[in-house]
Chains A and B, each alone.
Chain A
Amino acid sequence: MGDQPHPASPIPPIQRRPTPRGDRPVSETVTRTPAPPLRTRQPSATQLGLSRAAIETRMFFREKDAVIFTFSFPIVLLVIFGSIFAGDLEGTGLTVSQLYVASLIGSAAMTGFQNLGINIAGDRDDGTLKRLRGTPLPPGSYFVGKALNTLFISFLQVVILLAIGVTMFGLELPSEAGRWVTFAWVFVLGVLGSSLLGIAVSSLPRSAKSASAVISMPFVVLQFISGVFIPISELPSWLVNIASVFPLKWMCQGFRSVFLGDAGATLEIAKSYELDRVALVLGAWVIGGLVLCLMTFRWKSRRDG
């Protein structure tokens, strides 16, 4: 339409625009379909999980601003709280700053909740999840990658907190192997449970933009009511009851048993660290979190319907 040739123009020579199809045969009976390749051996799901963890971790460390704030947040809190409350704890031979180190380690072990909640909401929004779902990557490998990435980041945070605790605030690392065993299971169950919870809540925000507001708020509230910033014995019992439903209170309690030892047990509400209940609640969160994830996980953004 609208491209009528000028009546006086000479007839142009027959000319075909070269097409990108090039010398591709036009006939229908061409032999350009190769034999389908053999797709016998699919790569192992575990290996792909490790490969996901590697690329996720590499990408995480390249976002310099996120790295700096992720790691400096608990450190800054520790330095502030540890410096403000420098006194002793009512005749236990422990200092308030030691209490903060233990509790902030609990908080660091729970950053998976916040990181994954925001991060997966981002993956959903920027097309990562959609792209991955179009590939043969097993969904489990994606989650294994996230879990390993989170364990690694949380572990680094804990190491940094411990180093500061020891050098600045007179924290004594436990010498008994049993306490380190407790540390290991509280850490692993805590990180897994809170990561699964993070994966589950990542489906709540409408978009990546709202994710950090939606997910940071409950995390901060949880830190206040779970004994991270304010000793749990100073909270009203109804707040403690709410906190007792969530994993953070129990993680902090477990870490206090590791780093404060028997001397600190009198500070607990139950006058004991209740390690059996810690294990029970954290274990329940791992299982419950897994069920919650399986039930609520969305591969699509809301925009995709």
Chain B
Amino acid sequence: MTTAVRVRGLTKRYGDVQAVGGIDLDIRAGEVFAILGPNGAGKSTTVEILEGYRTRDTGEVSVLGIDPDKPTREWRSRLGIVLQTADDVAEATVRETVRHFAGYYPDAKDPDEVIEQVGLTDKAGKRIRQLSGGQRRRVDVALGVIGNPELLFLDEPTTGFDPEARRQFWELIGGLAHNGTTIVLTTHYLDEAEALADRVAVVAGGLIVAEGEPKTLGGRATAKAKVSWFDEGERRSLETDTPTRTVLELTRRFDGEVPELTVTRPSLEDVYLQLIEAPA
């Protein structure tokens, strides 16, 4: 398995603010990697350094084997970038725009197929100005993938989406991942990371505070479970590695129904909130 992105000791400072304070990352080719973190945590700065939009202060960065500080046309043609916000090409139609951008790449996909893939076939003749926010975002994705990229960056792609649009968008991204595109995604939404990502990194205060699969992040899978019940007029609880056994013992003790029994493990959100509060 080859490495798509390799980062060692990355730092970036804006004036007095240390935006990125020494980040290491390895993103494997073909995986969906999510970078989570609150606003101002340094995730956009990190991603923009990987995309070649910003220069770094120190550290080593290799993206598809190239240093993004020395971008080449050939390297750019292997990347796809979906930016956070854009209101450009408003007067061109969807089809004109996708076709025009296809001309930039040596190995572009078929524009009509890409328009179909992002679900805009019936809007292909419409001017981009006339599209809804979600449809506009689909155009952004179409322009991100038209060059048949090996690596696709998605910066907070579903911000402002309604739940249905978000679910459709996930299907779209899932389909791309299935075809082997490496995807680097930044997001605020934990459910989005959980649904899409093979691995996630949580960034806070310019550092990676946790990294792993969503289901095991921050020791989530192995964390003690909390078993809680009602007994002798008060709420009791027990943190345990073996909640099933505890429940079984309680069942015997109460000879049947355990009053107000709950068993909980930390949700991704619990883990995340703990992680991002720690360094502050």
Contact = CB atoms under 8 A, between A and B. Distances in A.
B83 A131 contact: yes
B178 A136 contact: no
Contact size class for B?
35 or more
Given A28-B1, A136-B73, A20 B88 contact: no
A7 B83 CA distance: 46
Interface stretch (B34-42, B96-104, B113-121): B96-104
A135 B77 CA distance: 7
Given A1-B269, A48-B103, A58 B179 contact: no
A16 to B, nearest CB: 12
Interface size classification for chain A: 35 or more
Contact of B88 (A37, A63, A126, A138): A126
B262 A127 contact: no
A146 to B, nearest CB: 14
B206 interface: no
A28 B31 CA distance: 9
Overall SS of chain A's interface: loop
A123 B90 CA distance: 11
A33 B74 contact: no
B78 interface: yes
B83 A134 contact: yes
Interface string B82-112: 0101111111100011001101111100000
Interface stretch (A38-46, A105-113, A169-177, A190-198): A38-46
B86 A131 contact: yes
A263 B84 CA distance: 61
A91 interface: no
22 contacts: A4-B228, A7-B258, A20-B167, A21-B174, A21-B177, A22-B175, A28-B28, A36-B150, A37-B107, A47-B103, A51-B100, A51-B103, A126-B88, A127-B83, A127-B87, A127-B88, A128-B88, A134-B53, A134-B79, A134-B81, A136-B74, A136-B147
Interface of A: 1, 3-5, 7-8, 19-24, 28-30, 32-34, 36-43, 47-48, 51, 55, 58-59, 62-63, 123, 126-128, 130-131, 133-138, 300, 305
